[in-house]
Structure 1
Amino acid sequence: MSDVHHASDAPGPRKKSGGKRRARSRRPWRRTTAAALGLTVCLGTASVSVASGSDPDAKPTAPTSSRSSQSPKGSAGRTKPTIEANLINPGDDWTSSDAADYWTPQRMAAAAPPADAPPADAPPADGTAEPDGVTARSAPAAKPAKAQPARRARHFDGIPTVGVLFSVDGDAKAHHCTASVVNSPRRNLILTAGHCEPGANAAFVPQYRSGADTQPYGVWAISKTFAYPGRGTTGSASDLDFAFATVEPDELGREIEEVTGGNTLSATPGYTNKVTVTGYPSVRNDPKDRAVSCDTRTSRLAGTRQLRMECGGFYGGTSGSPWLAGFDKATGTGRVIGLIGGLNGGGPKGPDSDRISYSPYFGTSIFTLYARATSG
């Protein structure tokens, strides 16, 4: 991600931020291969949806710009974006059977949002707390909303294409984020926020059920992750706060998409969209420990190239929650045009901070990353 720090795949100029931000420490994703890989974009038409002209302020033919080595227009040797491709549990045969054995209900319940997120404020009386990955607000303060009933997410049993991403960091602490299955040629791909950074013993649990001895759609081992190395949660680095991971087959040899179905990765069609957002707050932030969902509308996050939405209940653990356009209740699928992430890890800090969430704008950069992830 370091060479695409100023990616031009989302519209509008970036205004200089006026407030101070607390920098978030970031641990590199567990890796076995050195390093970063260049690539050429080659997308399968069956798995992704690239809307023509979906980036209203950007030229459709403009390539992703390079911060440090951009060549003049028309010159040869333009630097390609750099991507991390990292193995989980290098040297081990980490299977979905191993993941199911390791991630007991007790370990799942103990998992928390990423360790590099600042401590949450004391929860209010109902046991809720701040969302994960938020620091001092860097976008201009929102204007006071007109008096109206506050929209809040509802608790429900979840959908098969969305679940919980579990992993263990270097300090042996269990992490919890949200991830979703996306359609891909090999039927083995999930999407999450870049700052979720799965570490050792990473596993995905679709339609997670708290305390269940057997999960309805199983526990799936994660084998490899793909992300931009310069991703972050401040400045233009937060425009690249997304990542993909490949999932190992289950004990019957099935790929995850065969079991759960998948959502279609789609370019963000503009700043104003109707979406369904589904995620999993961690139990320490929401004691009900169930999926939450909200039908809402998006708008532009002022001073950025990102989106925002308003709906209460998206506490710590919901980073990576997909924003689904055209959601079909019968199939539980839709077109994923965003996810909770981006600036400050996906939201502001302050009273009622669970009510506002952010998303990176999906354009050239995410499809470049998808192309690398689907190539193996």
Structure 2
Amino acid sequence: MTPSLPLLAVTLLAAGLVRGPGPAVPPGNDPASHPVPDPVTDVVEHVADHAAETYWTPQRMARAAPIGLLAGLQKITALPPPVLAPGPAPRSAARTGVPATGGTGGTTRTRQAAAMPPVTTSGTHWAAGGSVTRTTGRVFLTMNGVDFVCSASAVRSANRDVVVTAGHCVKDGAGAWAENWTFVPGYDQGRQPYGAFPARRMFVAGPWSRAGNDDYDVGMVAVDDQDGRHLTDVVGGQPLGFDAPQGRRTYGFGFPADPPYDGERLLYCAGVPHGDPQGQTRDQGLRCDLTAGASGGPWLSGFDPGSGRGTLTSVSSFKYSNDQRTMYGPYFGSAVRDLFRGAERA
């Protein structure tokens, strides 16, 4: 049996979330290359409570934990931390002025190389700035009386108030809706440079709300404004893409909070997604060591590292327990488009 790990969760595995291994995917039939059209789905909506603005003290935020889907939480199994791939030298190392081998011009070349983020990585601190540092943030929420954290992104919308995240960061599958839900864009080591935006209305797809179907693990939230200023008036927003072509280089962002990370800085993965080799979902897989807390973080295709802009085509959803180095995210088809239409009219 191959359990899947919802990425909200860090060291937790709900025993009820075990899947059997699926059939091997024949060559040329990679679901990432040939996405199956969405069946007709419904949208489930929820009016959020309005306690979030006063609820989230700095102390509560610091104590909030990344956790798994709440179903079956009474039976949990600890998981080992991921093994990280060697990463590039941090930017601070380039500032030491130690010349690269081969001449006195090495220091300048090293600085230039360090300033350009790698286009393929399984987990690196995002230090290049740009729009993504403002539009991506942390979500703080309460589920069944416990405080949790996720990641999310502001997106362009008609009402200028829409946040996109994972479905399990909004509703516990067939269980409870989140309470005290608030989005902190641009979060950085405890700083909230753009303030916090509490939820107004929440949206998930029917298959997620009724059965926790991973193909529909997407949540959208319309947030309150700040003294008349809408979310994307303050931080901007990434455009959403639907029915996007597969096999394009994708950057996945988030705030992983399980060891070896602490949730305080924005990290990213980058690579070319592939289909689910287990054959159990229509999701895409991306080589990624980000841990729990990164759930709901945006996947951006057509991404420009210089500007920090791209098209949001998925979100971080789950990992399989026998492959903790691959993150999976749902394909954004017609069901997600319907979610967005509801959220931007809220």
Could you tell me the TM-score, scaled by structure 2's length? 0.70
Equivalent in the alignment of 1:365: 335
Write out per-residue CA displacement over residues 176-216 of structure 1, whole angstroms, 9 at most, x where no aligned residue.
1111111100100000111112622111011212233xx11
Deviation at 1:232, TM superposition (A): 6.9
Check conservation: 2:204, 2:218, Cα contact below 8 A.
yes
Letter in 2 for 1:84: V
Equivalent in the alignment of 2:100: none
Equivalent in the alignment of 2:199: 222
Q: 2:165 aligns with which of 181, 189, 192?
A: 192
Q: 1:203 aligns with which of 161, 182, 199?
A: 182
Q: 2:270 aligns with which of 295, 305, 317?
A: 295
* 263-272 or 364-373, larger mean C-alpha shift: 263-272
> Is the alpha carbon distance of 1:233 and 1:216 closer, same or farther for their aligned partners in structure 2, counting shifts above 3 Å?
farther
Check conservation: 2:160, 2:344, Cα contact below 8 A.
no
Q: Structure 1: which 5+ residue stretches go unaligned? A: 1-17, 26-53, 67-80, 127-149
Letter in 2 for 1:369: L
Equivalent in the alignment of 2:39: 65
Q: Secondary structure at 1:334's aligned position in 2? A: strand
> Is the alpha carbon distance of 1:111 and 1:319 closer, same or farther for their aligned partners in structure 2, counting shifts above 3 Å?
same
Matched, 1:167 2:141: yes
Equivalent in the alignment of 2:122: 152
> Is the alpha carbon distance of 1:243 and 1:55 closer, same or farther for their aligned partners in structure 2, counting shifts above 3 Å?
farther
Letter in 1 for 2:181: A
**2: CA distance between counterparts of 1:275 and 1:125?**
22
Equivalent in the alignment of 1:112: 65
Letter in 1 for 2:65: A
> Is the alpha carbon distance of 1:339 and 1:176 closer, same or farther for their aligned partners in structure 2, counting shifts above 3 Å?
same
Deviation at 1:122, TM superposition (A): 4.6
Check conservation: 2:243, 2:334, Cα contact below 8 A.
no
Matched, 1:374 2:344: yes
Equivalent in the alignment of 1:132: none
Matched, 1:338 2:317: no
Q: Secondary structure at 1:230's aligned position in 2? A: helix
Equivalent in the alignment of 2:28: none
> Is the alpha carbon distance of 1:282 and 1:220 closer, same or farther for their aligned partners in structure 2, counting shifts above 3 Å?
same
Write out per-residue CA displacement over residues 155-175 of structure 1, whole angstroms, 9 at most, x where no aligned residue.
23571111111111222x111
Deviation at 1:300, TM superposition (A): 1.2
Matched, 1:260 2:235: yes
Equivalent in the alignment of 2:87: none
**2: CA distance between counterparts of 1:233 and 1:348?**
22
Deviation at 1:226, TM superposition (A): 0.4
Identity over aligned pairs, percent: 29
Deviation at 1:234, TM superposition (A): 8.1
**Could you say which structure has the higher helix fraction?**
2
**2: CA distance between counterparts of 1:125 and 1:358?**
18
**2: CA distance between counterparts of 1:20 and 1:311?**
18
Check conservation: 1:308, 1:357, Cα contact below 8 A.
yes
Matched, 1:239 2:215: yes
Q: Secondary structure at 1:264's aligned position in 2? A: coil
> Is the alpha carbon distance of 1:124 and 1:240 closer, same or farther for their aligned partners in structure 2, counting shifts above 3 Å?
closer
**Could you say which structure has the higher strand fraction?**
2
Deviation at 1:233, TM superposition (A): 11
Check conservation: 2:126, 2:267, Cα contact below 8 A.
yes
Deviation at 1:368, TM superposition (A): 1.2
Equivalent in the alignment of 2:150: 177
Kindly report which structure 2 residues correspond to 1:123-134, keeping only aligned pairs within 5 A, or say none. Answer: 123=81
Letter in 2 for 1:247: V
Letter in 2 for 1:162: T
> Is the alpha carbon distance of 1:122 and 1:266 closer, same or farther for their aligned partners in structure 2, counting shifts above 3 Å?
same
Q: 2:321 aligns with which of 349, 366, 372?
A: 349
> Is the alpha carbon distance of 1:328 and 1:366 closer, same or farther for their aligned partners in structure 2, counting shifts above 3 Å?
same
Give the paired residue count.
271
Deviation at 1:307, TM superposition (A): 0.6
Could you tell me the TM-score, scaled by structure 1's length? 0.64
Runs of 4+ in structure 1 off by over 3 angstroms are: 18-22, 54-59, 117-120, 122-126, 232-235
Check conservation: 1:105, 1:210, Cα contact below 8 A.
no
Deviation at 1:125, TM superposition (A): 9.8
> Is the alpha carbon distance of 1:121 and 1:20 closer, same or farther for their aligned partners in structure 2, counting shifts above 3 Å?
closer
Letter in 2 for 1:107: R
> Is the alpha carbon distance of 1:268 and 1:277 closer, same or farther for their aligned partners in structure 2, counting shifts above 3 Å?
farther
Letter in 1 for 2:309: T
Q: Structure 2: which 5+ residue stretches go unaligned? A: 5-14, 19-31, 71-75, 85-119, 172-177
> Is the alpha carbon distance of 1:123 and 1:262 closer, same or farther for their aligned partners in structure 2, counting shifts above 3 Å?
same
Letter in 2 for 1:347: K
Check conservation: 1:231, 1:240, Cα contact below 8 A.
yes
> Is the alpha carbon distance of 1:337 and 1:186 closer, same or farther for their aligned partners in structure 2, counting shifts above 3 Å?
same
